[in-house]
Each structure stands twice: as structure tokens, then as C-alpha cells.
Structure 1
Amino acid sequence: MKSRILFSALAGLLLAGLTVLFAPASPANAHGNVTGPASRNYGCFERWGSKFQDPAMATEDPMCWQAWQANPNAMWNWNGLFRENVAGNHQGAIPDGQLCSGGRTESGRYNAMDTIGDWKATNVGNSFNVKLFDGARHGADYIRVYVSKPGFNPVTQAPKWSDLEQVSQIGNTPAAQWTQRADGVEIDVPVSAPGRSGRALVYTIWQASHSDQSYYFCSDVNFGGATTPPTTPPTTPPTTPPTTPPTTPPTTPAAGACSATYSTSSQWSGGFQGEVKVTVGSSAIKSWTVTLAYDSAPSVQQSWNSTVSASGNSLVAKNAAYNGALPAAGTTSFGYIGSGTATTPTVTCAAAV
């Protein structure tokens, strides 16, 4: 099978940061994820992104509920579950029991993906495709797909490397050879797991053709059910989430109406991902605007949880519809993909009260 699915090598394309999508010649807006069978965090985003504080989730989808409570950014940033500089030593970089969080990558953002329990499972047959979406058009040095061995139950066990059996691999495939979409590229990896039945875990490693970036995805499946078609990822955050922010107020309010802090969460040749945390002062606010002053403002390929526009040498970020009204001492965050080399801007915050 390997010889049938290997593709010939082409020139690699320049890529991007964390919300997956763009033309090969420009920095991308994101990375990617397995959308079918949906990975744990992408599935939670797909099902609950527009209603992430609906109390019904606690009983209808308890594993997603605990994940949203632990860190909403694991779902908002559904395309950023990766590690850098692993050099192919995946088992050395990721301990047993931490496979679904990529070894607690990104400062523990995705730790809830390791929680043992009854995650929603996709029904599959013994032959199915793993669909990988690549919004940054990284392409792949390789994609490896594993299925848990018979006897392993993801409802009661945390996966170890010894629980997995590799069932498929695609070799070097530049993004030009993937299926082209307006918002990125996608590829199907054929999988055959004869004789399997019941609950299992599908584990995908995507070695992106961009620096040394390795992505790790856990997808819960049920062999023997009716095959569920893969889903299509959204290109923008949901437009109708509740107005209550998904964050926990800090113990000390910010000085003034609001304050903001900037950090560079990822960078690569030609681009970077910036993230900003907004903290409210001692009184509730109705909306906020953050100004990031640069010596020379980068062009922004994409933003999430905010609307970002350029104004001279500054970037001006305004809240989304669902995270502008915040209580006293409340917090929220937003991010964006910028072109060029990351530099730290001067950050100011203004709020309407």
C-alpha cells in the first residue's frame, strides 16, 4: 500500500502559523488538524464552539466539557497542537500517557486531551480515510497513522506507545500535491485495520515540511458502526458564542479600565504567531481595543477572537462580538499570524465602560 500512496517530491512551499489557510507564496494563517475522524480538540470545537458554555455539554459531552473548562484555547487554537525540534524522536519527546497532548506541549494548553474517559467516537469501517487539513500549506515530510491494538480501551486507558500499531504512512508530499481549497489544502490517508471492532484510538503524526514541526492528534473511533464522513473545518471562529467570557478572573485587577500583554507563541521563516492577553480593571467593560505599536507594523494574515487592522505602524485589535463585555478583573485573549520576523510591540488597551 505504501508504494501506492507515496507521491513524488516537489519543491516545498513557505508556510505559516496557527489557524491554517493560505497561498503557497505567502505566510499562512494557521497550522492544521485531523478533521476526520475528528481529533479530540477539533471535535470539541466543531460541536461546541458556538455554544461552549452551554450547560448541556456537561451531560451530553462530558469529555469536551472538562476540556473547555480546563483551557478554552485548546479548542479555539484547534490547529496548534505541535512540538518543534523533535528530530523524529517522537517516543523520546512524548511520554506514555501524554500522547494526545503532544507531551503537554504549548505550556500545557492541550493537557485535557490526555484525560481518560468516554470521548465522542466516530463510527468507521475497517477501511477508512484519515483526513488532514493544512491551512498553512506546509505539506508533509510524512504522515503516520496508528491504530490502538486489540484489547486497548480509550474509555478506561491512557495510550502508551506500546498500545499502538502503525497501519499507514504517506511519504514526502508537498502541499501542491494535496487537494487544493480556498482556505488551505487537505489530504486523505487510506487506513486498513481488518478484524477490528469496538472502541479504539487513531493516532496521527504529521511531520510538516516546515522547519521541524511535528503535529500529534488523537481521534476516538468505533469500529463496526456506520461510516461517518469527514468534516470540513471552519475558516473563521464561530460568530454566535455566548457573551460571557470563557476565562477565570485573576485575583488582582488590572490598573485602569484594561491592560494587555503580548507574547510570541511561535515563529518560523517568514512569519510568526502573536498572542495578546487582555485583563480588565476594577470595573466591568462593554468593549475593548488593543493597539500594538511597532517600528514597522507586520501584515496580518489572520486573527482569531478579535478583528485586527493596520493603522500606520500599529496594529489595532478590537474585540469579537462574544468577548467584548467582560466583568471586573476578567480576562480574554486573542491571537494573529504576522509576516516577517517577530518583534515585541508596545501594547496599550482602551475600553468602553
Structure 2
Amino acid sequence: MLKPVRVKFLISAVVAALAASMAVLVVHSGPAAAHGNVVSPASRNYGCFERWGSRFQDPAMATEDPMCWQAWQADPNAMWNWNGLYREGVAGRHETAIPDGQLCSGGHTESGRYNAMDVPGDWKATSIGNSFTVSLFDGARHGADYIRVYVSRPGFNPVTTALKWSDLELVKTVPNTPAAQWTRQLSNGVQIDIPANVSGRSGRAMVYTIWQASHSDQSYYFCSDVTFGGTGSPSPSNPSSPSPSNPSSPSPSTSVSPSTSTPPVTGSCAATHAVTSQWSGGYQGEIKVTAGSAAIKSWTVTLTYPGTAPVAQAWNATLTTSGNTVQATNVSYNGSLAAGAGTTFGFLGSGTAATPTVTCAASI
């Protein structure tokens, strides 16, 4: 007969083991915190995500976009979590908290996740004019205590040199601006378009943006590679999901065009599934969520597969996986949808692309 102490120990062990096994079933999507980034001229990690998020395993990246290639190899989460490059508790002492040579990684923030952003090299540069616009996306609607836009001084070469504070010249400051006053109110966040000017500039340079969010003491740091001499930088309006691959180069993966049709919404919400790209051993999928005739506050999409759920990683949603079922719930910035409005989340699947049964439920 087991003694009471031993029985208690065995029960505790079983409970701990069950808790551990349940934890494995929960997959937290990236970006986990969902904050924001400079989307135009694209920061280094957002630009890599925008160009290669749907083809991140394409070996063509190594020759067509070698700086993104080294960044994906160093830590792919720097791109999947393109909106998490921030530090806390800096209290405005940016130059003290972040050493020279580490400005693009926020001083090796997030345990070094973004360190590859500091590496000098021929990063893809956006062509802009001497009058240009910096577009900052805020997915969590934090707003700003202030935003500072810097441009590297003449003579600085980002291809050969890591950025230092002495390389920068402040060209624009935006004062306290609540999220409700940002330029664009989007379904998945807000965006502010900041006009800036320099004079007599040409050639390669760096635009450096500091966003002091009105949320705790969170400071965000973004390096955008630019070439002066263009006519201005376009401003993306909705950076909610992996944007598009580079159309100029062939890819060994199979590109699949997702369906653009949206079925009538008969309930509080509807969801559709599409495969956007495939490669040997995996694929990328996208789910579009559309609100019904009334605005919704949150949504949950259930994916039921014929076999074990193949979903391995996701963004713009939080996943819980159990057997052949995946439940995806909105994150903080994309749960609230106006009547008839939509949002998307993406995921990576293993093996051959499988088509699940898709259902959607929402709170109104």
C-alpha cells in the first residue's frame, strides 16, 4: 500500500505532466505584442518581411537580397515579429541606452533578436526625394508621446558603416499625438504620415525614426535605407499580412493565387481559407475574416482538418491546437471590425497543403 506522502507526490507529478502537455498545444503567433513599424520608407526588418514573408524559404533571396538573407538566417523572428523592435524604461535617454553601432537593433533589444539589423551592407533602399514622407504604422493604437525623424549626415555610407548617433541629423519632430489623431484610421490599427525635408541630398543614406509610444515607457527604433534622388516614397495603407513576393525573380516554390471572392456573410462573421504559396515540405496559408451586417468586437475562427492539424506558426492571430482542430482568435489590433469589414491572418503549414473546414464566431 502506498504511503500518503508518496501518493501526494505521484498526483503532483501527474498534474505537472498534464499541464506541460497542454502547454505544448498552445501556439502563440507572431508578432506576439503587435505594436508597429515604419512601413515607408520600409525599415530593414519590415522591408524583409514585405518582400520575402511569403517566400522566406526561397534560396533566390541569398543572391537577390543578401542582407535580408543574412537576417533571416540569423533570426527569422526579427521579420515575423516586425513590429516588436522596442525597449522599455529608456526614459528618453536614447543615446545612453543604445550604444553606437547598435541603433538599428535598439541596442540588441529583445535578447538580441534584431541584431542582424545592425550589420552594414547593401540593404534594399527606397528611392526618395529631398521632400519625403515617413509612414509609421501603429497596430495597437498606442499613439505617440513624440516621434523623431533623423537623416544620416552627408558622407555616411550604410553599405560599409554601422550607424552611430553622431551620424544623425534631426529633421522632424512630431509632438504628443493620440492614436485618434493619426493620419489614417485603419481596420487593423492607425498610421501617421510624417512629411520631412532635407536639401541638396543625393545618394545612399539612412532615415532613423524614434517612436516614443504612449504606452508604458516603450521606445521604438527603426532604420530605413534610402537613396536620395527619387520622386518620393509611396505609403502602404495596410501592413496587416505578408505582402507580396518579389515578382521579378523566379522561385522554386509554387505560387498559388488565393481566391479573392468573399461568400455572403449569414452570421456574425465568415472566414475563407486560401493557400498562397507552397514548397517542398510546407506551405503558407491565409484566412480572411469578414464581419456580418453588424460590427464585431472579437472573432474566433475554427479550422478542422481531415487529419492532424499541420499549422506550425501564425501571425495576426493567436492559435490553440488540439488534434485535428485549430482555433484562431484575434490579437489586440484586429478584433474590432466594422460591419462588412475584413482582416486577414496568415500561417505556415507543414507537409502538403490541406483544406480545412472553416467556421467563424464573433462577439458583437
TM-score band (shorter)? 0.5 to 0.7
Q: Could you say what the CA RMSD is over the residues aligned between the two structures, in angstroms?
A: 3.0
Residue of structure 1 aligned with 2:84, choices 80, 83, 103? 80
Q: What residue in structure 1 maps to residue 319 of structure 2?
A: 308
Partner SS for 1:113: helix
Pair 1:165-2:169 in alignment: yes
User: For the Cα contact (< 8 Å) 1:287–1:324, is it kept in 2?
Assistant: no
What is the letter of the counterpart of residue 137 of structure 1? R
Q: Give the 3 Å change call, closer, same or farther, for CA 207–245 of structure 1 in structure 2.
A: farther
What is the letter of the counterpart of residue 240 of structure 1? T
Partner SS for 2:225: strand
User: For the Cα contact (< 8 Å) 2:149–2:208, is it kept in 1?
Assistant: yes
Aligned residues: 249
What is the letter of the counterpart of residue 223 of structure 1? F
Q: What residue in structure 2 maps to residue 195 of structure 1?
A: 200
User: For the Cα contact (< 8 Å) 1:99–1:216, is it kept in 2?
Assistant: yes
TM-score (norm 2): 0.62
Q: What residue in structure 2 maps to residue 208 of structure 1?
A: 213
Q: Give the 3 Å change call, closer, same or farther, for CA 59–95 of structure 1 in structure 2.
A: same
Q: In the TM superposition, what whole-angstrom CA distance separates every residue of 1:297-332 from its partner, at most 9, and x where no partner exists?
A: xxxxxx628762599xxx957997523349xxxxxx
Q: What residue in structure 2 maps to residue 118 of structure 1?
A: 122
Cα deviation for residue 234 of structure 1 reads 3.1
Provide the rounded CA distance (Å) in 2 between the counterparts of 1:33 and 1:49. Answer: 16
What is the letter of the counterpart of residue 89 of structure 2? N
Cα deviation for residue 183 of structure 1 reads 1.0
Question: Once structures 1 and 2 are overlaid, which stretch shifts more, 44-53 or 220-229?
Answer: 220-229
User: For the Cα contact (< 8 Å) 2:43–2:222, is it kept in 1?
Assistant: yes
Cα deviation for residue 235 of structure 1 reads 1.7
What is the letter of the counterpart of residue 57 of structure 1? M
Moved over 4 A (4+): 17-20, 241-246, 285-290, 315-321
Q: Give the 3 Å change call, closer, same or farther, for CA 310–139 of structure 1 in structure 2.
A: farther
Provide the rounded CA distance (Å) in 2 between the counterparts of 1:111 and 1:129. Answer: 26
Q: Which runs of 5 or more residues in structure 1 are unaligned? A: 1-16, 21-28, 247-284, 291-302, 327-353
Q: In the TM superposition, what whole-angstrom CA distance separates every residue of 1:186-229 from its partner, at most 9, and x where no partner exists?
A: 10111111111110000000000000000000000000123231
Residues 236-315 of structure 1: matches in 2 within 5 Å? Answer: 236-237=241-242, 240-242=276-278, 244=281, 287=309, 304=315, 308=319
Partner SS for 1:322: strand
What is the letter of the counterpart of residue 170 of structure 1? V
What is the letter of the counterpart of residue 276 of structure 2? T
Partner SS for 2:348: coil
Pair 1:232-2:237 in alignment: yes
Residues 3-14 of structure 1: matches in 2 within 5 Å? Answer: none
What is the letter of the counterpart of residue 82 of structure 2? W
Provide the rounded CA distance (Å) in 1 between the counterparts of 2:61 and 2:155. Answer: 29
Q: Give the 3 Å change call, closer, same or farther, for CA 41–289 of structure 1 in structure 2.
A: closer
Cα deviation for residue 59 of structure 1 reads 1.0
Residue of structure 1 aligned with 2:72, choices 61, 68, 74? 68
Provide the rounded CA distance (Å) in 2 between the counterparts of 1:123 and 1:321. Answer: 31
Provide the rounded CA distance (Å) in 2 between the counterparts of 1:66 and 1:241. Answer: 22
Provide the rounded CA distance (Å) in 2 between the counterparts of 1:197 and 1:230. Answer: 21
What is the letter of the counterpart of residue 157 of structure 1? T
Question: Which has the larger Rg?
Answer: 2
Q: What residue in structure 1 maps to residue 348 of structure 2?
A: 322
User: For the Cα contact (< 8 Å) 1:117–1:156, is it kept in 2?
Assistant: yes
Pair 1:32-2:36 in alignment: yes
Q: In the TM superposition, what whole-angstrom CA distance separates every residue of 1:106-129 from its partner, at most 9, and x where no partner exists?
A: 111111101110000001110111
Q: In the TM superposition, what whole-angstrom CA distance separates every residue of 1:246-271 from its partner, at most 9, and x where no partner exists?
A: 9xxxxxxxxxxxxxxxxxxxxxxxxx
Cα deviation for residue 165 of structure 1 reads 0.5
Provide the rounded CA distance (Å) in 2 between the counterparts of 1:121 and 1:195. Answer: 19
